[in-house]
Amino acid sequence: MKKSHSQWSSRMGFMLAAAGSAVGLGNIWKFPYMAGEMGGSAFVLTYLLFMFVIGLPILVLEWLIGRRGQKNPIHTMEDVAASEGRSKLWRWVGIIGVLGSFLILSFYSVIGGWATDYIFLAINGTFNGVDGAATGQIFSGFLSDVGSLLTWHTVFMAANTIIVAMGVGGGLERACKVMMPGLGLLLLILVGYAAIVSGPSFGVAFNFLFTPNWSALSGTAILAALGHAFFSLSLGMGIMMAYGSYLGKDVNLLSTARTVVILDVIVAMLSGMAIFPLVFANGLEAGAGPGLIFVTLPIAFGNMAAGSILGCLFFIFLTFAALTSSISLLEPTVELLEEKTPMGRKTATVVSSVLIWALGIACILSFNEWSDVTLFGKNIFDLLDYLTSKIMLPVTGLGTVIFGAWMMNQKIIRKELNLGNFWFGVWSILTRVIIPVAVVVILVCGFLPETR
């Protein structure tokens, strides 16, 4: 089955699509609660460091390999490996990537469903005048209601199916152009609101996130920061590789990657500064876990002028931020089925979605009926998150960087990146030594129980 190999309409379109994939629940929902659980700044600063020193080079390499291969991740890896005279086994980088995106989408869609449900809760005025105890109750009531969780997970998956079945090209690129600036504007408003109403708690939140407190740094937090850098940039899943395959030769990879990383980081930081001031001002628990954003932000919306409208808008944008990412998560599985089976694009999309949707149900049940079904002390949701963010993504990322730095012709890479002697030296040391060693060390440490 032949894929028409289209290209992004412009560098801007590509950048926004890549940023659309990168900016998502990871920034707005996951980053703040992880920072809260891991004790704040030590985690945040480690994450920032990893984003630029490890995430950025791997992002560049994924695009570079994708642009070279011009195919889906598995065949791209196979072809590029062959052209460099390397083993076909490198396709495993692509295979684990596709598997990772499949697993991630199963729980990502459940959370996307939460965001969708909250649009309606906000507009119906459910949050009017609420306090922290009330929003906590609304959220835990929702989590124990299998019917609602399933409904919204289904709605969210259906939206994905429709968009991906229609082809993501023009529609997705255009949607990102509208959604991303809108999301940024809303975040600014929320940060402004948090600054106004939370008084001294704003400064407390700022210190919590940014004043170095290295004693709080644990092995667990370092591994989490690395896993999140991968997750947040959509790395290690073949997604950026696939995006690179639609990329024209004229696009400067390094400067585009820098912009995407900066945008991604800014959204995460702004989300933290929108949420933590309210957490502290209301005496809520910073380490509340995955429910954090669904428990704290509604307090703000419930107590501000035109809060139901702003709340509704916020959750619409959260849903769209999730959608522009989840579509990119669905794509690899669809592509694979399309190429490896006789299925057409529409059938492949429906089949992939149903499989992912079904796994999502297990994830939903882990919040209620199956909450005591655990493996290694983790429920299904935590297990999927752990397996993907902390193991599969770093392993695939490691494969990518070793391939890019040791298996590919470095002269060509240097030309493609257009680097002078000094910066290419820095690039080489980073990709050949520092990144692989760091990822291996962090992976190994992550397996030691509670290293400190």
Can you tell me the distance from the alpha carbon of 185 to that of 313, in angstroms, rounded to the nearest whole number? Answer: 11
Taking Cα atoms as reference points, which of 174, 322, 169 lies closest to residue 246?
169
How many residues interact with ligand PHE (rule CB under 6 A)? 16
* Residue number, 26 or 446, with CB nearest to ligand PHE: 26
**Shortest Cβ 396–ligand PHE spacing (Å):** 11
Residue 323's alpha-carbon distances to 151, 327, 439, in angstroms, are 17, 6, 29
Is the Cα dihedral 41, 442, 224, 89 positive or negative?
positive
**Shortest Cβ 232–ligand PHE spacing (Å):** 4
**Which x/- pattern over 10-39 shows residues binding ligand PHE (rule: CB under 6 A)?**
-----------xx-xxxx------------
Can you tell me the distance from the alpha carbon of 383 to that of 20, in angstroms, rounded to the nearest whole number? Answer: 26
The answer for 283, left when phi > 0, alpha when psi is -120 to 50, beta otherwise, is left
DSSP-assigned beta bridge partners for residue 378: 375
* Residue number, 76 or 232, with CB nearest to ligand PHE: 232
In this chain, which of 64, 80, 98, 104 binds ligand PHE, going by CB under 6 A?
104
* Residue number, 64 or 322, with CB nearest to ligand PHE: 322
307 burial level (CB within 10 Å; 0-12, 13-18, 19+) = buried
* Residue number, 330 or 439, with CB nearest to ligand PHE: 330
**Shortest Cβ 410–ligand PHE spacing (Å):** 28
Contact region for ligand PHE (CB under 6 A) — 136-144, 155-163, 227-235, 423-431?
A: 227-235
Interaction between residue 106 and ligand PHE (CB under 6 A): no
* Residue number, 27 or 366, with CB nearest to ligand PHE: 27
* Residue number, 234 or 333, with CB nearest to ligand PHE: 234
Which residues within the stretch 284-343 sit at the binding site for ligand PHE (CB under 6 A)? 325, 328-329
**Shortest Cβ 32–ligand PHE spacing (Å):** 12
* Residue number, 220 or 328, with CB nearest to ligand PHE: 328
**Shortest Cβ 260–ligand PHE spacing (Å):** 11
Ordered alpha helix ranges (H), 23-89: 25, 31-37, 41-50, 56-69, 73-83
Is the Cα dihedral 344, 97, 359, 264 positive or negative?
negative
Which residues within the stretch 234-253 sit at the binding site for ligand PHE (CB under 6 A)? 234, 237, 239
122 burial level (CB within 10 Å; 0-12, 13-18, 19+) = buried
Chain residue at closest Cβ approach to ligand PHE: 26
Can you tell me the distance from the alpha carbon of 47 to that of 99, in angstroms, rounded to the nearest whole number? Answer: 25
The residues, ordered by sequence, that sit 6+ positions from 255 with a Cβ below 8 Å of its Cβ are none
**Shortest Cβ 99–ligand PHE spacing (Å):** 13
Can you tell me the distance from the alpha carbon of 351 to that of 347, in angstroms, rounded to the nearest whole number? Answer: 6
Can you tell me the distance from the alpha carbon of 433 to that of 34, in angstroms, rounded to the nearest whole number? Answer: 28
Question: Tell me, what DSSP letter sits at residue 3?
Answer: P
In this chain, which of 161, 232, 271, 366 binds ligand PHE, going by CB under 6 A?
232
Interaction between residue 231 and ligand PHE (CB under 6 A): yes
**Shortest Cβ 258–ligand PHE spacing (Å):** 17
**Shortest Cβ 331–ligand PHE spacing (Å):** 9
Residue 295's alpha-carbon distances to 96, 127, 141, 257, in angstroms, are 35, 10, 12, 34
Residue 136's alpha-carbon distances to 154, 272, 309, in angstroms, are 24, 19, 21
* Residue number, 201 or 271, with CB nearest to ligand PHE: 271
**Shortest Cβ 328–ligand PHE spacing (Å):** 5
Interaction between residue 352 and ligand PHE (CB under 6 A): no
Under the rule (CB under 6 A), what is the footprint of ligand PHE?
21-22, 24-27, 101, 104, 231-232, 234, 237, 239, 325, 328-329
